[in-house]
Structures are given as C-alpha cells and as structure tokens.
Amino acid sequence: MAVLETEALVLRTYNFGEADKIVVFLTRTAGVIRAVAKGCRKLKSKYGASLEPFTLAKITYFQKENQELVALSQTEILKSHFDLSGQAETLAGLAYMGDLVVEFSPPYEPNEKLFRMVKACLDAICQSQADLQLVLRYFEVWLLKLEGYLPDLRRCGECQRAFDENELAFMNSDSVFRCRTCSQGFGSALSKRLQAQLRATQRLAPFAFAQESRAMPANIHRELAELTHQLIGRVLERQPRLRSTFQ
C-alpha cells in the first residue's frame, strides 16, 4: 500500500454509507482520483471545511494496488475559495468546470498542465467574478487542447499551410480547421475576430485573457461559446461511457 501526498482541488463530493463521502479530486501528480473520506459527515470531522468544492488542499491518501478508490487520510487547506460560494452563477460555473474535467480526464492519469490550468482559472475567477464567462471560454479551449481535441489554430489541417492573420478558417463536422481552398465551400467560416480570440487563449494566462477580452463584442463571445460547445459536444458524443463509476 502506498502513502501519497499531493496538492488537490475538490471537484465534487457525494455521500457514501452512513457517515462518509466520496471526494473526486483533481490532483497535481495523479490526475483525477476518487477518495473515501471516512467519517467526514460526523460533527467533529478531522476534515473540517477542506472538502468543500473547489477547495485547494494538500492531501495525503493511501492507495492499494488495483483499487480504484483511495482512502483519504489527511487534508490541509491551502486556499478555501469560500468567498466564491455566495454567488449562484459562480457556483454553477465551477460545477460545470468540475464536470467537464471529470468527463475529459481518465482517472489516475497524471496531467500537471491540466491541474495548473484549472487552478489558474479558479484564481482568475476569484480575482474577478464578473469575468466568469470569459474564464469559462478560456477553460474550455484549454481543456480541449490539453486532452488533444482542439483543432490546430495555426495551419490548415488539410494542406498544412500556415494561416495568415487575415485569412478565414473553415470548420466542417470533423472538427478540423481548413483553408478556403481545401474546405471547398463546406463547413462554417470562423470570423477573423474569433480566430484572434482563440489565438489570445494560447498566449495569455486566464486572468490576462479575461481582462483583454472584456471589450469583445457580444456576437464574438457567442461565436466563441458556440464553437467550444460544439467541439465539446462532439468529443463527449464519441467518448465511450466506460467511466460510469464517476457520478
């Protein structure tokens, strides 16, 4: 049995047995894990407030070979994010982020970049809850990218020619960006402004992206949201639902 320690974000919890909970964490070193927190629903639980959604904590847990559930042993709050819990829209946004991380990331597959990205998005939302929607778009683009589902923004997926700044890219139902010639009139054109926003997600941290994008016209934000939702929808449709143990 291994004793492991890592930094982790609480994605969600659900009740288990009489007094326990199962906690789904996104960890820095082990990816998404599910841990049993024994006795955490008792009045004097040693876990205190550390298992609230989106708390950042240092956790210690035991892992037995070939067992999917690990046993939580200790938690230490690094950042509570309790300040976010008063806003229904923010909570819904965070829950959405947590759900997508669980959907996209196979359990126990380390992905430190994903951990850092989600943590940075959370920090950006803490700094300015008014930017929630912009940060969520950033999160969606990066989740797609880190899990290998974001089309190449820089070049045509067919002829491999690099797009120039003023060129329209076209997307067909296969989620590939193509130049005008290769698309042969099929698919929808991505506006130049949308392509610029997508490029901005690649060079900026989430808070800077949100700040820079505040002036984005509503129709471009809608276009960006439609694009990410379309890409995410296609990925989830073709994901085999093997992870039913993740509620």
Binding interface with Zn ion (CB under 5 A): 156, 158-159, 179, 182
In whole angstroms, the minimum distance from the beta carbon of 36 to Zn ion comes to: 52
DSSP states of 194-228 as a string?
Answer: HHHHHHHHHHS-HHHHHHHHTT--HHHHHHHHHHH
Closest by CA to 61, choosing from 52, 103, 51, is 51
In whole angstroms, the minimum distance from the beta carbon of 192 to Zn ion comes to: 17
In whole angstroms, the minimum distance from the beta carbon of 153 to Zn ion comes to: 14
> Nearer Cβ to Zn ion, position 95 or 182?
182
- Residue 12 CA to residue 8 CA, distance in Å, equals 12
> Nearer Cβ to Zn ion, position 114 or 156?
156
The CB density around residue 154, as the number of other CB atoms within 10 Å, is 12
Which two tokens mark 123?
A: 């920090």
- Residue 132 CA to residue 121 CA, distance in Å, equals 9
In whole angstroms, the minimum distance from the beta carbon of 156 to Zn ion comes to: 3
In whole angstroms, the minimum distance from the beta carbon of 129 to Zn ion comes to: 41
> Nearer Cβ to Zn ion, position 92 or 162?
162
- Residue 150 CA to residue 10 CA, distance in Å, equals 26
DSSP states of 17-60 as a string?
Answer: TTTEEEEEEEETTTEEEEEEETTTTSTT-TTTTTTSTT-EEEEE
> Nearer Cβ to Zn ion, position 5 or 158?
158
> Nearer Cβ to Zn ion, position 64 or 161?
161
